[in-house]
Amino acid sequence: MLVTNKELQHAAKKGKYAVGAFNTSNIEITQAIIEAHEEMNAPVIIATSTSAIKYCGIEVLSAVVRQMAWQAKIPISLHLDHGTDFNLIVDCLRNGWTSIMIDGSHAPLKENIAITREITKMGHAVGVSVEAELGRLGGIEDNISVDERDARLTDPDEAERFVKETECDTLAIAIGTSHGAYKFKGEAKLAFDR
């Protein structure tokens, strides 16, 4: 069955376990993800990227995941990961995604809040959970010099404001973790105090 990321995350918090998220772009990868998680009796987030949707086609990818999830014995979420294109996000909402990520981290805070708030309203109106990302700039901003490492870490006060104003369900934060373009570059030092 398809559920939202919010539902999976609430159950995981209550049960004190993690939920894996794995990207797919075709039938074989989707089948492997679901079979592995059924074997472990573990829920899973099946994530899709913009390029995977372009490769497979939005209707086909939706149909594949939805049909396989309907037959599965575990809860599954269909998640758009790092959505930056408004029209693609709307298409995902129309084609059965149960969770979307609006990644406005490249934009200034005020603009990121505005677009995230709009996407959150649309997602919630159709029962879809929304994840957002809060970006940070390095170097000097508004005459304030910031250590390069600290500049990439999420400011807790900014995060609190962002969540209150956008009403997003989850927020991707930076506490020294490494992924995407920064993956495996240098040693990860987690800022647990944040």
Structure tokens at 28: 């074989």
Per-residue HEC secondary structure of 4-36 comes to CHHHHHHHHHHHCCCCEEEECCCHHHHHHHHHH
CA distances from 95 to 91, 128, 176 (A): 6, 12, 35
Are 177 and 193 contacting, i.e. CB atoms less than 8 angstroms apart?
A: no
Q: How many residues does the chain have?
A: 194
Spot the catalytic one: 81, 103, 155, 169. 81
Work out the number of other CB atoms within 10 angstroms of the CB of residue 71: 9
Q: Which residue has the tokens 């990121």?
A: 112
Does 169 participate in catalysis according to the annotation? no
Nearest-angstrom CA–CA distance, 46 and 80 = 9
Nearest-angstrom CA–CA distance, 89 and 104 = 12
Q: Which positions are catalytic?
A: 81
